[in-house]
Amino acid sequence: MLIAIPDLLDAAALASVRALIDGASWADGNATSGHQSALAKNNMQLPEESREAKEAGRVILEALGRNPLFIAAALPLKIFPPLFNRYGGGQAFGTHVDNAVRIQAGTGFRVRSDLSMTVFLEAPEAYDGGELTVETLFGVQQVKLPAGHAVLYPSSSLHRVEPVTRGHRIASFFWMQSMVRDDNARQLLFDLDSSVQQLGGRIGHDDAEVIRLTGVYHNLLRRWADS
């Protein structure tokens, strides 16, 4: 499941995040890499313990909490605090799979990485390259979205960031543990929820069949959800 989430950050939130991170001190991106990723990764990253990263991350987490598309697609249980990276001058991140478990440094907070998210923070016309390339069951998909937009995809998928040959690609990235571990089950729930919402919008959410389908959704979620 690869889902684009438009306008996760509105103009004010995007400006707030950029004001925080643009003046911060960036470091080698391999500070948070696992062994496999370190072999493929070449970028800059904000230290996760920095004030700027924490404050900018809170802006993104607040936006996620208000976004119904994100909540329906991810069914989030735990979210790793957002991190921030920057690519330029030919930097790239080769093909890799995200670590199965992410542990926040110095806290013991851990997340099973069911889903990965990238929030684009730079206008696509400001840089060349930098596409997020994800290998899915339906073929290779490349994603390069407007600033403030985000994409959600399975952490188990092979993916990479193409070389940035002009300008800078600036983004936030992080992982989340879903209430529903299985990606296929999560996709079914998302499809069912989307159909129920559209049907309810046409014939009314108090229609008997809409109520019945809503019950089916919640009973499936009850069956599959971790707590």
Residue 8: per-residue pLDDT: 98
The CATH architecture that domain 183-224 belongs to is Irregular (4.10)
96 is in an annotated binding site: yes
Residue 38: per-residue pLDDT: 57
98 is in an annotated binding site: yes
114 is in an annotated binding site: no
221 burial class (0-12, 13-18, 19+ CB within 10 angstroms)?
middle
3-178 domain in CATH 3.30.530.20? no
* Spatial CB neighbours of 116, under 8 Å, sequence gap ≥ 6: 98, 152, 153, 154, 155, 159, 173, 174, 175
H/E run at residue 76: strand 76-79
206 is in an annotated binding site: no
Residue ranges in the chain modelled with pLDDT below 50:
none
| d(C-alpha 64, C-alpha 69), whole Å | 9
Which residue is associated with the tokens 């070449």? 42
Encoded tokens for 56: 């900018």
Residue 68: per-residue pLDDT: 96
Q: In the chain, where are the structural domains located?
A: 3-178, 183-224
The percent of residues in the chain predicted with pLDDT above 90, rounded, is: 88
